[in-house]
Amino acid sequence: MATPAKPNVAFIGLGAMGFGMATHLVKQGYAVTGFDVWPPTLERFRAAGGKTASTPSDAVRGHDYVVCMVATAQQVQSVLFEGENPALPALAEGASLLLCSTVPCGYVQSLAAQLAREGRSDVLLVDAPVSGGAGRAADGTLSIMAGASDEALEKGRFLLQELSDASKLYIVRGGIGAGSNMKMVHQVLAAVKILATSEGMGFAQRLGLDLAYTYESIQNSDASAWMFGHRGPRILSQFQPIASAITIILKDAGIITSEALRAGFSTPMTGTAEQVYFSSLSRGYGADDDSSLIRLYTEGAKDAVSPLAEEDKAKKLALVRGLLRGIYLCGTAESLSFAKRCQLDLDQVFDLCINAAGGSKVFEDVGPEIINLFRGKEQVAETEGESLQDVASELQAAVTEAQNLKMPLYLGTEASNLIRLALQHVQDQSQPLPRAAIAKIWGA
């Protein structure tokens, strides 16, 4: 029996991620019609075997499956409803619309409501933000967080599967908006850890440590993190190649803080990171790779590595390790607490985060303890294990040394304040607290 022909797919938004996703579909035998506002990108897509359209309307006409991968909610509005020759009037009856852009939950829910108001409830919208970078987009191994009606998920599932790693397609309960919320709580970890990489490496430079040595030592310790391993080499190579501009993570941080405000939730770690990202814009760094944020910590400082005895080198490295682990602990608590507020499946959130860019050894170790705390299983610090007081002591040592050096530790200082706030409400300070107790700051 002949194999059924693969359906035609329209793809709106051929940026770094979208181009990889669309060309992957072409390689898998789909006839893909792409639209982008940048003509050279359309030329590249044609050279890769795709078809092109000059307007969103022309791109989607006659297609039952549409993927939208533009950068912002404003761009989604433009290509679907408000721009020149928008897609909505040309969408086929019962078309499947996969919105893969990273947008606020509130926006994608308003999009579903607008479709209904426009008399297009027939459009099967899937809230499906992605994660993984341009390389995984081109390989079809992205992480995808999909929330929608059962009918929409059933129709669009094969396309989600084509674009994602088999183990990283997360069907998120809660309908439209749930996928965006899942992506958002992961990006809490990403927003914190991108800046933490520059903060840790900048601190190391000011301490006189060799950065290559610091990078290798940290990544082979209990302070390791996916983001540190990914951004660290670009710091060592003078922020090349430019793989992810500062404006990209700033957009995601803004989604987190705006949605937190809408929910009446506090995100002090992400909020601190967002303010630092804003400060980089005023210096003209917005289009630079986000690994270049180390410049905010090393301005005016000497680049030279200090000759250090092994004992001194180990002590200084321990300060960097203590700084990063304290930051990661508070980022972990903020992310999982926000996930709880959003009523997400915490086990699913944990599985996503340990296998994605937000992962770290601290998250892997303490995340399950925090989840158990949320479920009413009171945690007790193990006699031989690390307590919250231990984390506080190591982090404060780093902050104090930075004060002596007259340098900022934006995230480290915020994390130190949060941990001290958690500890000051403990009646018996002589009893070690489990690290998971930090989550009580967020109302656990």
Active site residues: 183
DSSP-assigned states of every residue in 300-313: T---PPPP--HHHH
* Measured distance CA(274)–CA(289) in Å, rounded: 16
User: First-to-last CA distance in the chain?
Assistant: 58
Answer for the pair 225, 324: CB distance below 8 angstroms, yes or no. yes
C-alpha radius of gyration, the chain, whole number? 23
Burial of residue 64 (CB within 10 Å: 0-12, 13-18, 19+) is: middle
Contacts of residue 91, defined as CB under 8 A and 6 or more positions apart, other chains included, come to 60, 66, 97, 120, 123
Please say whether the beta carbons of 127 and 106 come within 8 A.
no
For residues 145 and 103, the answer to whether their CB atoms sit within 8 Å is: no
3-state helix, strand, coil in the chain (%, to 5): 60, 10, 30
Token digits of residue 437? 């107790």
C-alpha to C-alpha distances, 407 to 23, 149, 294, 343, 415, nearest whole angstrom: 46, 51, 12, 39, 16
Buried b (16+ CB within 10 A) or exposed e, 163-174: bbbeebbbbbeb
Task: Report how far residue 334's alpha carbon sits from residue 344's, in angstroms, rounded to the nearest whole number.
Answer: 14
E-assigned strand segments in 150-261: 164-171
